[in-house]
Amino acid sequence: MASKQPRRSGAVLVENAVVSSVFGLFMAGIMEFGHAYMVQGAMNAAANRAARYGAVDGVTSAQTTTFAKTLLGAAFKSANATVTVKDASVFDTTTVAPGTINYDTLPNLELSTADKHQLYVVRVTVPYNSVALLPPFWVKNLTLKSQAVMRHE
């Protein structure tokens, strides 16, 4: 007597739908985090190169900002980024615990009139919503930040 096998015609479709959707979310997450990591790396490189560029005598803060935005343009739309040059002399005069300084409150600095050996910071910020590949439904109000500190020559 031949045994009958149970019918499974819909089971494969349901299993495929579940596995495919989980795999798709996993791949989208890998792409998004990889892109965010690439953007952060581009911001770090742009801040460092712009800080070195601004250290030279005769270069203005506007030129430094433009240089940083040009470098950022290779990774994402640089109009979404904010680049500032701030006076970081506070680090020369006082002991500041890491994570306690609000960089937004530091005064702006014009590099063309900066004193020799004056400490300054080039800060790059961009809202994550502006650079995300996918609609950022899992991350709200996140800002990516990067900075580089240099002494004026």
Residue 99: predicted pLDDT: 73
pLDDT tens profile 75-102: 999 899 999 999 988 888 777 776 777 8
- In this prediction the pTM is 0.82
Predicted pLDDT at 146: 94
Kindly report, residue by residue over 106-133, the tens digit of the pLDDT. 899 999 999 899 999 999 999 998 888 8
Q: In this structure, is the dihedral angle defined by the CA atoms of residues 11, 15, 20 and 25, taken in order, positive or negative?
A: positive
Distances (CA, A) of 15 to 10, 12, 20, 27: 9, 5, 8, 18
